[in-house]
Structure 1
Amino acid sequence: MTDWEMKVHNFMCLNKFVKKGEIVFTGSSLCELFPINEMLQNVEPRIRVYNRGIGGDVTDGLLERMDESIFDLEPKKVFINIGTNDISRPEYKRERLMSQYRKILMQICRRVSPETKTYVMSYYLVNCEMLPVAQTWSGEGQFGARTNAELEAVNAEVGKWQRSSGCAHAIRCVRLGLLDEKGNLKAEYTIEGMHMYANGYAVVLEKLMPYLLEE
């Protein structure tokens, strides 16, 4: 059993104990590493969030685990952060990523309650100047096409499709406060240019609170 399969199986087991009708976060490592439950204890402990992120996952993976990560929980809100690993792959094509994202959102629109709100989180930008650190930390040393220009282009495409479809809400404000004067992810917030420490996620949580609190 692969690490991905073990995590999906664990989600299936955990879902037997969840309180349905709460909030779900799903995506790749940028979601999995978000210590949102711990942070909420001192901010608003009444908010219950289930984190269904898997490090290294791509849109194909999320499409395979929609039941375990979303539908079995019957959430009132879904926050999605998936696709950055697709961009990092050598065979990356923006058109395919957008097609995958549409499949994800259309499945959610068809299968969740009409009252469920879906939020598409914009991709966090990166700090490519920290590439040598990324080589040491990740063992891969590749951002691939994961440049700030490409991330912003995809964010714009997702936002455009979301507005025309009307089946999800795009959240672009999460990038504010994370960037330095050059437009890169601040070095003090990131491990190796892509993944973030808890202080970076604290900025994200502050921006997300209105969406977590709204009825």
Structure 2
Amino acid sequence: MSDKKNELTNLHPDIIKFQNAIRKKYAAENQTAKKGQILFVGSSSMEIFPVDQLQLNLNLDKIIYNRGVRATTTADLLNHMDTLIFDLLPGKIFMNIGSNDIGFNVPESVFLANYDEILRQIKEKLPDTVVYVMKYYPINTTENFGEEKEEHNQFYAHRSNELLEAANFKVEQLAKRYGYEFIDVNAGLTNAEGNLRRELTFDGAHMLPAGYEIVLGNMKKYLV
């Protein structure tokens, strides 16, 4: 598949440079990584998941490898499936991808077709791998986190809990089509209004380590 990411998302060159650098780093690490382990894959919400630190207290018999890349869309993941998934031959995959498709206003038909193709390829190439498709994390668009109003409005023009929830339903249907489990590990993240709790986020859309501790606690039953 040709790389059409820039055409749809107009990413800043610095972000593209970072993405290339982190994928190069992952590719190098894959050469010595153990096969059959646990893989976390997705966008920035996965990239900043402090897995290396938090998994030390889990006493798992498997290693968790994080292959999240910021600003990644479903199209971007499709362009780099070997580096981000297949080279590791994971025994379990936890996937959180697509929130940027929504945020970048990628047409829903494109987003869902890409997601479908991601799951199809995994089913075909890794038929024995257990895949957990994750519900999108809630966000907080109502409070001020220090950004300029114009910056806030631009970032959240196509990001809301309502849009994420609508996408969750459709992604769940895709997961079921391939016999994969759709999991909700968000208990404890929201306030009474359903927004991501202010003390768990630094910008309303990305979580602090305290938020990921809650998520990891909810994930434990799937990790063992």
Normalised to the residue count of structure 1, the TM-score between the two structures is 0.90
- Correspondent of 1:186 among 197, 203, 222: 197
> Which residue type is aligned with residue 131 of structure 2?
T
Residues 183, 36 of structure 1: alpha-carbon distance in 2 compared, 3 angstrom cutoff = same
| 2:29 corresponds to | 14
Whole-Å separation in 2 of the counterparts to 1:80 and 1:25: 6
Partner of 1:108: 122
CA gap 1:158/1:67 in 2 versus in 1, 3 angstroms: same
User: The residue matched to 2:155 in structure 1 has which SS?
Assistant: coil
Q: Hey, what does 1:98 align to over in structure 2?
A: 112
**Structure 1 residues 97, 134: closer, same or farther in 2, change over 3 A?**
farther
- 2:55–2:64 CA contact under 8 A, matched in 1: no
Name which of structure 1's ranges 196-205 and 142-151 shifts more when overlaid on structure 2.
142-151
SS in 2 for 1:120: strand
Number of matched residues?
A: 208
2:8 is aligned to none
Which amino acid in structure 2 is aligned with residue 11 of structure 1?
Y
Q: Is 1:176 the equivalent of 2:190?
A: no
Match of 2:70 in 1: 55
Give the 3 Å change call, closer, same or farther, for CA 192–77 of structure 1 in structure 2: same
2:87 counterpart of 1:76: no
Kept in 2: contact 1:87–1:144 (CA 8 A): no
The CA deviation at 1:140 is 8.3
Asked if residue 5 in structure 1 is aligned to residue 17 in structure 2, the reply is: no
Call closer, same or farther: CA 1:155–1:198 in 2, change over 3 Å: same
Once the 2 structures are TM-superposed, how far is the Cα of residue 161 of structure 1 from its aligned partner? Answer: 2.4
2:172 alignment counterpart = 159
- Which stretches in structure 2 are left out of the alignment for 5+ residues? 1-15
Which of 137, 144, 148 lines up with 2:161 in the alignment?
148
Q: Normalization by structure 2: what TM-score?
A: 0.87
By how many angstroms is 1:180 displaced? 0.1
Kindly indicate whether residue 131 of structure 2 is the aligned counterpart of residue 118 of structure 1: yes
SS at structure 2 position matched to 1:145: coil
CA contact (8 A) 2:51 2:64 kept: yes
Q: SS of the counterpart of 2:137?
A: coil
Question: How big is the shift at 1:133?
Answer: 3.3
Partner of 1:66: 81
Question: Which amino acid counterpart does residue 43 of structure 2 have in structure 1?
Answer: S
Whether 2:217 is the aligned partner of 1:206: answer yes
Gap change, CA 1:135 and 1:111, over 3 Å in 2: farther
> CA 1:59–1:178 in 2, change beyond 3 Å: closer, same or farther?
same
Post-superposition, which runs of at least 4 consecutive aligned residues in structure 1 deviate over 3 A? 131-136, 138-141
The alpha-carbon deviation at position 141 of structure 1 amounts to 4.5
Is 2:97 the partner of 1:86? no
Confirm or deny: 8 A CA contact 2:36 2:90 kept in the other structure. yes
133 and 168 in structure 1: CA distance in 2 versus 1, 3 angstrom threshold: farther
Contact kept in structure 2, 1:109 and 1:167, CA below 8 Å: no
Query: What is the CA distance between 1:46 and its match in structure 2?
Result: 3.3
Q: Relative to structure 1, is the Cα distance of residues 95 and 14 closer, same or farther in structure 2, using a 3 angstrom cutoff?
A: same
